[in-house]
Amino acid sequence: MLTFAALQSAAGDAVKATFGNNPVPDSLMVYVNGKVYVKSDAALQLVKHLRGGWPLLAGLYIFPKFIRNWVYDIIARNRYRWFGEKDECMIPSPDVRKRFLM
């Protein structure tokens, strides 16, 4: 099961501590087995945990990281134009809320 945390939470502080004095990336971050993944590495780690055909995307690891991150940056820069933007935040149901670390 995937759990989520805001970088401003106690769980987020623990992840940020792994960066030491280095700046914390302003992109997707995934923490798996004591290792922090960012950008395309993080996205590919996430798809491994999804159902259906999504785990097949993990095969994109065959491409060099600089190419994967270039594509990731293009998607990140255009996500609102392509997928829309909400005017308000979703209020999670109790079932979803229990998946967030505080």
Whether the per-residue pLDDT at 73 is higher than 80: the answer is yes
Domain boundaries, the chain: 4-83
Q: What is the pLDDT of residue 1?
A: 67
CB neighbour list of residue 88: distance below 8 Å, 6 or more residues apart: none
Average pLDDT for 73-84: 89
Percent of the chain with pLDDT over 90: 36
Structure confidence at residue 101 (pLDDT) = 77
* Percent of the chain topping pLDDT 70: 98
DSSP state of 62: G
Rounded CA separation 17/62 (Å): 30
Q: Model confidence at 63, in pLDDT bands (50, 70, 90)?
A: very high
Among residues 37, 38, 57, 39, which one has the least CA distance to residue 47?
57
Residue 77 has pLDDT above 80, yes or no: yes
